[in-house]
Amino acid sequence: MSVAIDIQGVSKRFRLYHQKYTSLKERVVHGGHVPFEEFWALDDVSAEITAGQTVGILGRNGSGKSTLLKCIAGILQPTSGQVVVRGHLAAMLELGAGFQPELSGRDNIYLNGSLLGLSTKEIDRRFDEIVAFAELEKFIDNQVKYYSSGMYVRLGFSVAVSVEPDVLLVDEVLAVGDERFQQKCMDRIQQFQKDGRTIVVVSHSPDLMRDICDTVLVIDRGQKVLMAPAGEAIRVFRERLIESGFAAPPAAIDLLPPAVDGDAPVEIASARRQVKLLAATTAYERQDERNYIETGEPIDVRVDFEVASPISGVQFKITLLTERDAIVFSSTSSGAVEGMPLDAGRGSATFAFDSMVLLDGRFSVTVEVRDAGGVVLDILDPGCTFEVMNPGRAVGIVGLPLRVEVTPPVAGALPEAAGSAH
C-alpha cells in the first residue's frame, strides 16, 4: 500500500525563557541578549502511515503528541527532518482553532472552508449539511464568541469532516460534547474508515485507541517508544506510566491477604511499585480434560501479587476483551476489598464468575491494581486467556437469557378481511 504520511527524523526545538527584560535599560545592559533554555519537544521521530490506516498517537501530557500532529498539519515546521503528506489534508487540532470570534458561525464556515481548500460554490452546496451536523441551526448567525465550548467543537468538527479529506487529523476533540454528538463523530470516523481514508488521532484514552485504531504510536519525552498494534502499544504505554508513577458486580472477588514467606525476601521489580502483579490464571471445572468452558459455566480468574510495603487499601480491576481487543466487560472490586490493609508479602485476588455468559471465542483478561487514590500500581495486559464454546444455537458475543411466548390463533376466528375475500 502507498504511504500517506511519511515522518522522517522529525525534531522540534522550542526556547524556554525564564525571564524577560522589558525596560530599555535592561536590554542595553544585557546587550539585547535574553537567556533561554532549549527544550526539544520532539527528538528524531520517524514513522510511516499507509493510506487507509487509522493511527493513534498516545503519550502522557507533555510527551510531544500535539507537537507532532501540528508538524504533520504544517502548522509547525520541524527544526530538523521532514514530514511528507500525500493527499488532501484536514485537521481538527484544538477547540475553535481558526475561528474568528467576532464573526458569525455562518461567516466562520466560509472562512474555515476556504482555508481547507473549498470554493465558495462547494461551501454553498454543503452549508446546510454542515449546520445540520453541528446542530446549530438556531445559532448559526450569532457571533461565535458567544458559543459554548461544545458548540465550538461541533462546528469545527463539522467543517473539517465536510471537506471529505484523504487525511484527517484529530486532536483530543472526540471527547468534547454530549454523548449523542460523540456518537455522531464516531459514526463519521467509522464511515471515513470504510471509505479508505487515513486518520490520525491524538487522545489520552487507551480505550478509544483500542476501539478505533489499527496501529498506535507511543511517544514519551519527545521520543518514539514504539509503533505497534493497539493492544501491544497500550500495554507499553501503561508500563511507562507505572514506571513513572503517574498512572492512574457480575463478578464476585475473593481476596486472600499476603502471607510472609518465611525468611525469603520479597523481590519487587521497581521501588515505585508498592504492589506488583505476578501472574493471572484461570480455574474451571474439568480443566484437566478440556481447554475451554461452555457458555453458562463458572470460571475463576486468580491474580497473584506481591506487596513491597504495607498499604492501607487497594482496588483491583478486571477487563475481558475479544481477540480483536474489543472490551466486552470491565469491573472493579468494591466494598471491603478496597479498604483491606495489606502487609508486605505475597497474596492473591480471585475474580469469580458464577456463570460465564460469553459465547464462542477466545478472550483475553487484563488485570490492574490501584491504590486508594486511584493511582495505577501495576497491570497485566494481557494477564491470561480462556476459550468459550457455546453448545447452543445462539450467535454473537454474549448469551442472554431468553424466553419466547407465542399465542396461537383461535381456530375459525379469521380476520374479517381474509374471511370476505373470494
Domain that holds residue 90: 3-241
Runs of H (alpha helix) within 195-229: 206-212
pTM, to two decimals = 0.68
**Is 194 part of any domain?**
yes
Give the separation between CA 337 and CA 313, rounded to whole angstroms.
8
**Is 166 part of any domain?**
yes
Phi and psi angles of residue 179, each rounded to the nearest 5 degrees, phi first = -65, -35
- Name the band, by pLDDT with cuts 50, 70 and 90, for residue 256: low
**Is 397 part of any domain?**
no
Q: State whether 214 and 292 are in the same domain.
A: no
**Mean pLDDT value across residues 43-68:** 90
Q: State whether 218 and 367 are in the same domain.
A: no
Q: What is the CATH number of the domain that holds 177?
A: 3.40.50.300
**Is 414 part of any domain?**
no
**Mean pLDDT value across residues 179-188:** 78
- Name the band, by pLDDT with cuts 50, 70 and 90, for residue 274: confident
Picking from 219, 241, 263, the residue at the C-terminal end of a domain is 241
- H or E element in which residue 368 lies: strand 361-371
**Is 324 part of any domain?**
yes
- Given a contact cutoff of 8 angstroms between Cβ atoms, the answer to whether 96 and 144 are in contact is yes
Picking from 225, 241, 257, the residue at the C-terminal end of a domain is 241
Percent of residues, the chain, with pLDDT higher than 90 = 27
Q: State whether 231 and 97 are in the same domain.
A: yes
pLDDT tens, 377-406? 888 888 899 999 988 878 888 888 888 999
pLDDT at 54: 92
Q: State whether 235 and 369 are in the same domain.
A: no
**Is 417 part of any domain?**
no
Is pLDDT above 90 for 284?
Answer: yes
Q: State whether 206 and 255 are in the same domain.
A: no
> Which of residues 120 and 420 earns the better pLDDT score?
120
- Name the band, by pLDDT with cuts 50, 70 and 90, for residue 128: very high
Q: State whether 117 and 193 are in the same domain.
A: yes
Is pLDDT above 90 for 8?
Answer: yes
**Rounded alpha-carbon distances, angstroms, from residue 414 to 124, 331, 378, 410, 419:** 58, 53, 68, 8, 6
Q: State whether 237 and 294 are in the same domain.
A: no
For the record, the C-alpha cell of 382 comes out as 494481557
Q: What is the CATH number of the domain that holds 262?
A: 2.70.50.60
Give the separation between CA 125 and CA 207, rounded to whole angstroms.
37
CA 224 to chain centre: 18
pLDDT at 173: 62
Q: State whether 236 and 254 are in the same domain.
A: no
Phi and psi angles of residue 306, each rounded to the nearest 5 degrees, phi first = -120, 140
Q: ∠77-78-82 over CA atoms, to 5°?
A: 100
Cis omega (within 30 of 0) for bond into 35: no
- Name the band, by pLDDT with cuts 50, 70 and 90, for residue 10: very high
Picking from 241, 257, 272, the residue at the C-terminal end of a domain is 241
Q: State whether 325 and 362 are in the same domain.
A: yes
**Counting Cβ atoms within 10 Å, is residue 18 exposed (0-12), middle (13-18) or buried (19+)?**
exposed
Is pLDDT above 70 for 162?
Answer: yes
- Name the band, by pLDDT with cuts 50, 70 and 90, for residue 37: confident
**Rounded alpha-carbon distances, angstroms, from residue 75 to 83, 93, 370:** 12, 10, 39
For the record, the C-alpha cell of 143 comes out as 457571533
Q: State whether 191 and 117 are in the same domain.
A: yes
Residue in the block written with cell 468459550: 388
**Is 187 part of any domain?**
yes
**Mean pLDDT value across residues 348-368:** 91
**Is 162 part of any domain?**
yes
pLDDT tens, 193-249? 888 899 999 887 777 788 788 899 999 888 999 998 887 888 888 777 776 654 444
Give the separation between CA 311 and CA 125, rounded to whole angstroms.
63
Q: State whether 292 and 206 are in the same domain.
A: no
Q: How many structural domains comprise the chain?
A: 2
- Name the band, by pLDDT with cuts 50, 70 and 90, for residue 251: low
pLDDT at 5: 93
Beta-carbon count within 10 A of 71 CB = 24
Return the beta strands (E) in 101-233 as ranges: 167-171, 198-202, 215-220, 223-229
pLDDT at 338: 65
Label residues 167-183 b or e (16+ Cβ within 10 Å = b).
Answer: bbbbbbbbebbeeebee
Is pLDDT above 70 for 316?
Answer: yes
Q: State whether 278 and 199 are in the same domain.
A: no
**Mean pLDDT value across residues 111-132:** 87
Task: Indicate the average pLDDT of the chain.
Answer: 82
Expressed in percent and rounded to 5, the helix, strand and coil fractions of the chain are 25, 35, 40
Is pLDDT above 60 for 265?
Answer: no
| Phi-psi category of residue 81: left, alpha or beta, with phi > 0 → left and psi -120 to 50 → alpha | left
